Structure 1
């Protein structure tokens, strides 16, 4: 199997969590900004309506038309003036999200995470030496021991040895074995990336809704589904990374 190498730096789960946290903060800022703008629009509409409520020599139809024209112009002005502020929030969100997405290649499978776990650990080297002549049955048992004891160094060594076996002789598949280890690094990063994706999508949807003059769709189906897919227990119950 050939792979394409890239110069993307490998980040730690803590660093990835910080990127997700940045996006969470920017999402809150976007929503707060749009809430402020909507309040400004509502206040200006009330002022205009009150000013055109009555005027000598004008019919009710004229008053309504003048009020509507001024309201449309005022709302357009507020939207135009908000573009720079909202564009900056979106731009600020783009950089951490790009870094976050770049980590998928390192964390998209538990086998990749386990393969590099305990690198440089003398225990892993010791296990490799002890089990270098082990057959499928022994490796299968050691895989069970690693899972049962959460021994990452042993698991990493066993994974390396299982990977060398012909597929038909493997006592357990590498992906299944690595997944059974339930590694925190893999599980947390998976949720951090989900959170980051949801927050960027939330920013985009909110800004597009504001620009289009629609109500802020905080409960759209797609956003709700993204939220439901995030395992809060792994990264914090309030959604903050």
Structure 2
């Protein structure tokens, strides 16, 4: 299995834009379906009004005629909506694919920290200063990096820890990376969660509209995943 990805590495801001595009598209889909549902209700009301009474026609026949026309009208509205909803679904698929293609780049804080401050003279200077540091000094520098949120220092310490045998490390690379609580890592996790939830919401909304009924399990799952998104970290949604 290769570790090399075909997808380009996007910045957290670019990942956020993809999530935002899915967020906005989800809102548009809901508005379209709301409009279509109102069309259905208006047609039902109109049909019911026209077949409320007719000279010489029994109540049973009136109800049957109204039902047949209603079914045909709803089918026509759904058929006419297919192209519009399909277009939105086709827009959502590629955006979501580009979003989840970033997972291999952001699936661990170690990866994010390892490429943080690349090209930064401070990271290079820290590497040079600590090149011959022992476990005790490296452990303290890791402590300082976390306490001061010094990303170039943390990245340099991570590089040096990675060169050491596991048994000699004063702190594990993963422990250091997690302790830094890097915004780039944390935000991308939430952006991907949001994109996943919005794609699922689009699929559920269209499926519910097409089938004419909702699946309670889908609704519960969406609500649970929605609550799992840290809105304080990435901001509000479209609803």
TM bucket by the smaller chain?
over 0.9
How many pairs align? Answer: 238
Structure 1 residue matching 2:72: 3-state secondary structure: helix
- What is the TM-score of this pair, normalised by structure 1? 0.95
> What residue is the counterpart of 2:14 in the other structure?
15
Distance 2:93 2:7 in 1: 16
Distance 1:188 1:206 in 2: 26
4+ runs deviating over 6 angstroms: 216-219
> What residue is the counterpart of 1:84 in the other structure?
83
> What residue is the counterpart of 2:70 in the other structure?
71
Mapped pair 1:186 → 2:185: yes
Superposition deviation, residue 56 in structure 1: 1.3
> What residue is the counterpart of 1:158 in the other structure?
157
CA shift digits 1:159-212 (9 cap, x unpaired): 011111111221111111101001111111111111111111100000000000
Structure 1 residue matching 2:41: 3-state secondary structure: helix
- Where do 5+ consecutive residues of structure 2 fail to align? none
Distance 2:6 2:210 in 1: 37
User: For 1:10-159, what aligned pairs fall within 5 Å after superposition?
Assistant: 10-159=9-158
Superposition deviation, residue 6 in structure 1: 2.1
- What is the TM-score of this pair, normalised by structure 2? 0.96
> What residue is the counterpart of 1:221 in the other structure?
220
Structure 1 residues 93 and 5 mapped into 2: Cα distance closer, same or farther (>3 Å)? same
Distance 1:26 1:6 in 2: 27
Worse-superposed segment, 215-224 or 188-197: 215-224
Superposition deviation, residue 227 in structure 1: 0.8
Distance 2:170 2:226 in 1: 37
Superposition deviation, residue 5 in structure 1: 1.0
Distance 2:234 2:191 in 1: 7
> What residue is the counterpart of 2:5 in the other structure?
6
CA shift digits 1:22-69 (9 cap, x unpaired): 101100000000000000000000111111111111111111111111
- Where do 5+ consecutive residues of structure 1 fail to align? none
> What residue is the counterpart of 1:239 in the other structure?
237
Distance 1:137 1:239 in 2: 46
